[in-house]
């Protein structure tokens, strides 16, 4: 068992090394003097967070941990500090001025929703007197600042590729995207998919998989995930003009359901975690889905800026709602993130890329 674990870890590290090529666009290109903004540590900062949950009446109940009764607040006081430089300070007023008359869309699952709500809160806090509108039409939510003519949109699309209901039932098509027209005409697109690829049993959203002219009862999840990402990458190549639209991929947001990954033999989940992992690397090692994602991005010819949030988020086992999502009425949540919280840092990194 020990030899097998070492072999798998070595393979993951090798793959990570292989995919770090020039045509993977990451935020290290935006750091001063070549500073890699993703290599760093969490440091205590009493000035954090950027906002309080009460500042944003539109925060989803599932993310509002303080309102749901979480008793501790130290998890709110950590700032991401790159080793070789400082992460640019988020300036919401500047963001609104620079992106006047622009349209920004987040496309993905509930982790994309997590980041979208974080950004709307950070901007609302910067200009609390500015009017805003919040509306939902079908699977698309729109947060708009009329004075700036800026629209921040979220399109719920957990897989990016198609799931179609037919006589067989619900069929996943990893090589088909029918919702792509919804993504056209934006100034900035931020994509995300991963979380729902893990669901099995009653939570699995498909009954069959159709691929390569064949129908399968199921498919290896990592294989299916990669095929879907390749389909998405082809859509980007065929439909995006980099002169008009800047494309990001959120990266892989990790869960913390296995305390053995961070070396805790007593815990069972993320419940009760109040401190980050205060070290450079996550003891559990690189995330396999991150390896797959970077491998796909490496082969693309058009620029996609990767928000490499995985490692810095892996270190934040304390940032999940745990018992305090929906006030604990829907079970343990070690997947999503409290707001204020870790997605605010994701948006600081996004801000650095857009600056």
Give the catalytic positions in this structure: 110, 333, 336
Strand partners, 84: none
> How far is residue 81 CA from its own chain's centroid?
19
Q: How far is residue 151's CA from residue 164's CA, in Å, rounded to a whole number?
A: 30
Question: CB neighbours of 330 closer than 8 A, spacing ≥ 6?
Answer: 62
**Contact between 111 and 157 (Cβ < 8 Å):** no
**Structure tokens, 207:** 């009954």
Q: How far is residue 253's CA from residue 311's CA, in Å, rounded to a whole number?
A: 9
Spell out the SS3 assignment of 148-193: CCEEEEEEECCCCCEEEEECCEEEEECCCCCCHHHHCCCCEEEECC
**Structure tokens, 185:** 């005409």
Closest CA to 286 of 238, 244, 251: 251
Q: How far is residue 5's CA from residue 261's CA, in Å, rounded to a whole number?
A: 13
Q: How far is residue 215's CA from residue 174's CA, in Å, rounded to a whole number?
A: 12
């Amino acid at each position: 068992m020990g030899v097998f674990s070492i072999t798998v870890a070595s393979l993951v590290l090798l793959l990570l090394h292989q995919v770090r090529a020039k045509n993977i666009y990451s935020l290290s290109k935006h750091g001063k003097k070549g500073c890699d903004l993703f290599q760093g540590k969490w440091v205590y900062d009493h000035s954090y967070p950027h906002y309080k949950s009460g500042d944003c009446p539109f925060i989803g109940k599932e993310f509002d941990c303080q309102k749901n009764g979480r008793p501790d607040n130290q998890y709110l006081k950590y700032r991401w500090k790159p080793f070789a430089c400082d992460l640019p300070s988020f300036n919401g007023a500047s963001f609104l001025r620079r992106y006047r008359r622009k349209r920004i869309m987040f496309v993905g699952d509930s982790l994309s929703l997590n980041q979208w709500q974080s950004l709307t809160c950070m901007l609302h806090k910067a200009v609390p007197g500015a009017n805003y509108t919040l509306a939902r039409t079908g699977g698309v939510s729109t947060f708009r600042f009329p004075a700036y003519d800026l629209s921040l949109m979220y399109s719920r699309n957990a897989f990016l590729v198609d799931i179609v209901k037919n006589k067989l039932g619900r069929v996943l098509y990893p090589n088909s995207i029918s919702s792509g027209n919804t993504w056209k005409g934006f100034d900035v697109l931020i994509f995300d998919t991963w979380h729902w690829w893990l669901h099995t049993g009653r939570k699995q959203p498909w009954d069959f998989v159709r691929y390569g002219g064949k129908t399968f009862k199921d498919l290896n999840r990592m294989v299916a995930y990669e095929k879907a990402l390749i389909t998405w990458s082809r859509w980007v190549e065929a439909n995006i003009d980099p002169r008009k639209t800047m494309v990001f991929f959120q990266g892989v947001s990790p869960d913390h359901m296995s305390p053995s990954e961070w070396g805790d033999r007593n815990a069972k989940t993320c419940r009760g975690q109040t401190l980050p992992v205060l070290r450079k690397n996550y003891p559990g090692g690189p995330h396999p889905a991150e390896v797959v994602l970077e491998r796909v991005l490496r082969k693309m010819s058009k620029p996609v800026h990767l928000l490499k949030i995985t490692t810095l988020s892996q270190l934040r086992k304390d940032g999940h709602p745990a018992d305090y999502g929906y006030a604990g009425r829907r079970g343990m949540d070690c997947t999503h993130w409290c707001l204020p919280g870790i997605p605010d840092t994701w948006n600081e990194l996004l801000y650095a890329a857009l600056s």
